[in-house]
Amino acid sequence: MVKKTTIVTCPQCKKEVTWNNDSPYRPFCSERCKLIDLGQWATESYRIPQSESNSEEEPSHQA
């Protein structure tokens, strides 16, 4: 039985990462890239611009 090797690309630094137990941080190449990506994600979600929906309340909150 031939083991198929899956190669993914690190979303952070675009480095090729082998999808196996040697890469515990996949799809990231390293813990560092994973933390960087998570940090960016957290920052982005924290700073969501509220320019699209003005100060109107969402109609789904109150029927």
- Beta bridge partners, 7, equal 18
Among residues 48, 55, 25, which one has the least CA distance to residue 38? 25
The residue type found at 63 is A
Query: CB of residue 62 vs Zn ion: minimum separation in angstroms?
Result: 46
Binding mask 22-61 for Zn ion (x = CB under 5 A): -------x---x----------------------------
Nearer to Zn ion, 14 or 42 (CB): 14
Among residues 12, 1, 60, 6, which one has the least CA distance to residue 37? 12
Residues contributing to the site for Zn ion (CB under 5 A):
10, 12-13, 15, 29, 33
